[in-house]
């Protein structure tokens, strides 16, 4: 992902010409990546290598990887070489003493919960892609275009948990992210009652090495552990509201069927909706096409002015053709038509590793920076210890 001015489903400029650069005197925030050797961690490393606001200064991982340089520890899965800024970084363990201002967490769920709490307790803002804290009653699960107001929960979280400058913010599950982004303008315009969704999810969502080739080649697996539960619960929180003390669910009826398919990147979802207000396919198309972000979000480097791209043609969207819409940050929508059981049905596609993971976390961190939730920590090398008083 490069940072240049583009519109209409493409990535916005790094900072709009009228918006002030939110970091003082051009000083970048120092970012660490927990779980930096995994698939999502690698995406974060690559995106941070060219980011105008953040610089990668630390990578941490499990004991298996720590103690080696990043180039030695990682099995690089992305196009192009390992970014120069990361190659020589020493991979450290999950001790909250990293030289950075905040951390991204791409840790496996087996270790993420406690590690993220340790870093938050030590004063680090934690921007997490892991599932462990998504449904916590005081932790925002964030899609900036959908529920930026949920950041109001951070001071309550800090008070509840005894954190000082630290806190935890998560992005939702990869399949939830694209779905809820598309649901947002429909909820605002028509209201939502029921959602029925069938997912066709790419193998990259299972990480590396992921699904065994003999299981997925020429096959579809109609089960992904825990996925349907996430899709049926997370939208309730994302489309709900923060009342000053807790998150109030949206009260939707949701049923999900989740399938793993032999596609590399991109989660395709077939969705049927029951709306509170009557709407034609044309009305729905207009609501989706006209959905744009506000000036605050438009100034963020990873943001997309129009995060929903409505496509023509009976055979779109397709992962091979449409997964990189908006440099992977837009949801592509097509096949909007009447549903004989509910009201409207459509197909949507989003990039599970960008909009659904690394790009989502990056956008969340940018919003946190703009709203002054990120602070520059003093590097250990700059801390001046008290000098003994001469006798």
**Tens digit of each residue's pLDDT (9 = 90 or more) over 231-279:** 999 999 999 999 999 999 999 999 999 999 999 999 999 999 999 999 9
More confident residue, 1 or 273: 273
CATH, domain 174-352, list 3.10.450.240, 3.30.360.10, 3.40.1160.10, 1.20.272.10: 3.30.360.10
User: What is the pLDDT of the chain when averaged over all its residues?
Assistant: 92
pLDDT of amino acid 381: 54
Catalytic member of 51, 133, 150, 267: 267
Residue 325: pLDDT over 70: yes
Q: What is the pTM of this model?
A: 0.92
pLDDT of amino acid 386: 45
Domain chopping of the chain, boundaries: 24-172+356-382, 174-352
Percent with pLDDT over 70 in the chain: 90
User: Is 267 known to be catalytic?
Assistant: yes
Strand 102-105 relative to strand 29-34, pairing: parallel
Catalytic member of 51, 174, 258, 351: 174
Residue 15: pLDDT over 50: no
Sole residue written with tokens 């008290």: 386
Percent with pLDDT over 90 in the chain: 88
Query: In CATH terms, are 24-172+356-382 and 174-352 the same topology?
Result: no
Q: Read out DSSP for 134-158?
A: TT-TTS-B--HHHHGGGGGGHHHHH
Cβ atoms within 10 Å, residue 239: 21
pLDDT of amino acid 252: 98
Q: Round to whole Å and give the CA distance between 156 and 222.
A: 40
| 106 contacts 33 by C-beta, under 8 angstroms | yes
User: Is 217 known to be catalytic?
Assistant: no
Q: How confident is the model at residue 63 (pLDDT cuts 50, 70, 90)?
A: confident
Residue 171: pLDDT over 80: yes
pLDDT tens digit sequence for 208-225: 999 999 999 999 999 999
pLDDT of amino acid 10: 43
Q: How confident is the model at residue 64 (pLDDT cuts 50, 70, 90)?
A: confident
Residue 102: pLDDT over 90: yes
Domain 24-172+356-382 class? alpha beta
| 259 contacts 201 by C-beta, under 8 angstroms | yes
With vertex at residue 185, the alpha carbon angle to CA 272 and CA 224, rounded to the nearest 5 degrees, is 45
For residue 166, what are the β-bridge partners? none
């Amino acid at each position: 992902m490069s940072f240049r001015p583009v519109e209409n489903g493409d990535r916005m400029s790094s900072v709009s010409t009228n918006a002030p650069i939110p970091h003082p005197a051009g000083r970048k925030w120092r970012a660490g990546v927990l779980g930096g050797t995994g698939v999502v961690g690698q995406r974060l490393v690559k995106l941070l290598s060219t980011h105008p606001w953040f610089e990668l200064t630390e990578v941490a991982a499990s004991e298996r990887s720590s103690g080696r340089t990043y180039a030695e520890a990682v099995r690089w899965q992305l196009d192009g070489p390992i970014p120069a800024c990361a190659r020589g970084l020493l991979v450290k363990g999950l001790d909250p003493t990293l030289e950075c201002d905040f951390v991204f967490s791409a840790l496996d769920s087996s270790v993420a919960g406690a590690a993220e709490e340790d870093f938050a307790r030590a004063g680090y803002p934690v921007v997490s892609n892991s599932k462990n804290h998504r449904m916590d009653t005081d932790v925002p699960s964030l899609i900036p275009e959908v529920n930026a107001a949920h950041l109001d929960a951070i001071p309550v979280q800090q008070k509840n948990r005894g954190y000082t400058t630290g806190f935890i913010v998560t992005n939702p599950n990869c399949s939830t992210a694209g779905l809820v982004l598309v649901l947002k303008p429909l909820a605002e315009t028509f209201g939502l009652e029921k959602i029925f969704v069938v997912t066709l999810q790419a193998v990259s969502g299972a990480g590396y090495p992921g699904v065994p080739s003999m299981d997925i080649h020429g096959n579809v697996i109609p089960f992904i552990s825990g996925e349907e539960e996430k899709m049926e619960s997370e939208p309730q929180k994302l489309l709900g509201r923060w009342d000053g003390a807790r998150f109030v669910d949206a009260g939707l009826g949701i049923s999900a069927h989740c399938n793993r398919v032999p596609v590399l990147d991109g989660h395709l979802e077939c969705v049927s909706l029951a709306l509170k207000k009557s709407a034609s396919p044309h009305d729905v198309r207009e609501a989706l096409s006209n959905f744009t972000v506000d000036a605050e979000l438009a100034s963020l480097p990873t943001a997309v002015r129009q995060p929903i791209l409505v496509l023509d043609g009976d055979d779109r969207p397709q992962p091979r053709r449409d997964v990189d819409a908006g440099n992977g940050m837009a949801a592509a929508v097509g096949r909007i038509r009447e549903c004989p059981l509910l009201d409207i049905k459509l197909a949507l596609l989003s990039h599970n590793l960008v909009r659904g993971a690394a790009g989502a976390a990056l956008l969340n961190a940018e919003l946190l920076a703009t709203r002054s939730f990120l602070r520059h920590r003093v590097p250990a090398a700059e801390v001046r210890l008290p000098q003994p008083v001469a006798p």
